[in-house]
Amino acid sequence: DAKTTQPTSMDCAEGRAANLPCNHSTISGNEYVYWYRQIHSQGPQYIIHGLKNNETNEMASLIITEDRKSSTLILPHATLRDTAVYYCIDFSGYQKVTFGIGTKLQVIP
């Protein structure tokens, strides 16, 4: 079973920021927070990851709370092409990857 919990679905207006939350209630000290997304009928795509500090790349920003029990993925200006299922994953490199159900983000024109 997945270790993280996410809302099942979210809507976001095109051009607005999409904020996707994730709870990491059992994350351990050596586990990183990873975010992936899966566009319909495609393989998962890596977005971003972090350990403690907030991270930003060309795709998104990642906010991790100080206790690391929750994180938020931010897509600053959502486009229709961002419609996908978003997965947050706790991973340390020493175990198999477990995908949860993820959050189905629908970007609305």
Partner 1 sequence: GAVVSQHPSRVICKSGTSVKIECRSLDFQATTMFWYRQFPKQSLMLMATSNEGSKATYEQGVEKDKFLINHASLTLSTLTVTSAHPEDSSFYICSAQRGAGRLQEQYFGPGTRLTVT
Q: Which residues bind partner 1 (CB under 8 A)?
A: 2, 32, 34, 38, 41-46, 49, 87, 89, 91, 93-94, 96-102
CB-based contact 35:86 (threshold 8 Å): yes
Q: How far is the CB of 68 from partner 1 (least distance, A)?
A: 17
Tell me whether residue 85 is exposed, middle or buried, using C-beta atoms within 10 angstroms of its C-beta: 0 to 12, 13 to 18, 19 or more. buried
Mapping DSSP to helix (H, G, I), strand (E, B) and coil, where does residue 20 land? strand
Residue number with CB closer to partner 1 (34 or 73): 34
Q: How far is the CB of 49 from partner 1 (least distance, A)?
A: 6
Q: How far is the CB of 43 from partner 1 (least distance, A)?
A: 4
Residue number with CB closer to partner 1 (14 or 61): 61
CA 40 centroid distance within chain: 16
